[in-house]
Amino acid sequence: MEKLRNLRKLRGFTQEYMSNILATDVSNYSRKESGEVRIFDEEWVKLAKALDVPVEDIKENKPGSIVNFNDSSTNSGGFLNNYYSIPEYILENQQDYINLLKEQIEMLKTENKKLKSRR
């Protein structure tokens, strides 16, 4: 969450100060700021107020993947939701690879048509 981190540093606030605003410990706040842990809407509001900016100036939506794990070891039958943030450069790299594969598929389709038409 670069916008949040940069503005916090610009204002001279520590992670400890920000963690107190969210009533959490410093390590949890650090994980929120790095994108490892989700920041909820009401937390964005508190952070924006502390930084004296509109929420839109700091809020970054980095959707994470939700992984459901059925905990059969405790027979609780509950679900554990883990949120993972994937760095943007990995997503861009994967999108480039997908585009390359699409181009190759189209080339193979064209080649396949040519080969079929020779019969």
Which pLDDT tens digit goes with each residue over 12-54? Answer: 999 999 999 999 999 999 999 988 888 999 999 999 999 999 9
Same domain (yes/no): 59, 91 = no
Helix (H, G, I), strand (E, B) or coil at 15: helix
Q: Is residue 9 part of a domain?
A: yes
- Which DSSP state fits 21? H
Give tens-digit pLDDT for 86-103.
777 777 888 888 999 999
Query: Is 73 part of a structural domain of the chain?
Result: no
Q: Is 82 helix (H, G, I), strand (E, B) or coil?
A: strand
Work out the end-to-end distance of the chain between its first and last CA atoms, rounded to an integer number of angstroms.
59
CA dist., res. 59 & res. 24, Å (int): 19
Domain region containing 112: 87-118
Residues 49 and 106 in one domain: no
Q: Residue 7 belongs to what H/E stretch?
A: helix 2-11
Query: In terms of domains, do 55 and 112 share one?
Result: no
- The pTM score is 0.52
